[in-house]
Amino acid sequence: MGARPLSPHLGIYRFMHTMSLSILHRFTGVALAAGLVVLAWWLLALAGGETAYGVALGWLGAWPVKLLLFALLCAFLYHLANGLRHLLWDLGLGLEKHEARRSAWVVVAAVVVAIGLFGYLLFCPAGPQP
């Protein structure tokens, strides 16, 4: 059996940031699907009573899990922003090459700002201390 041919686009197109955003959109979708397992477990613990909820809070309060939850928040914010970009494309807006590249940078900037805002709100809930 011979080697299977590669898709011709792999040798034609040079890697662009818009391609990385497309790949990241798929990865964040998978990560969010896995994060639903954590959400479902938390909801089941909430419905399971005080003891089950206490166990869940014990696990979810650990710093590695908090880091994972923050990563899921970042994935959600990115997937949301890029999903809105895709919705605009479905409406026929922003399909030109320069518009798509510009909207990619807008998505990145919006996500960085949103992560900074949510990170501040989550980790500094009382605001800056004097």
Residue-range domains of the chain with CATH: 17-121 (1.20.1300.10)
Q: What is the per-residue pLDDT for 129?
A: 59
Token pair for residue 99? 């518009």
Cβ neighbours, 10 Å, residue 94: 17
Q: What is the per-residue pLDDT for 92?
A: 94
Q: If we measure between CA atoms, which residue out of 60, 35, 33, 26 comes closest to residue 46?
A: 60
Q: If we measure between CA atoms, which residue out of 129, 120, 127, 105 comes closest to residue 70?
A: 120
Which residue ranges of the chain lie beneath pLDDT 50?
none
Interhelix angle 50-60/63-90, rounded to 10 degrees, is 80
> 46, 56 in Cβ contact below 8 A?
yes
Q: What is the per-residue pLDDT for 50?
A: 96
pLDDT in tens, 88-124: 999 999 999 999 999 999 999 999 999 999 988 887 7
- Residue 102: what residue type? R
Q: What is the per-residue pLDDT for 130?
A: 57
Q: What is the per-residue pLDDT for 127?
A: 55
The radius of gyration of the chain's CA atoms, rounded to the nearest angstrom, is: 20
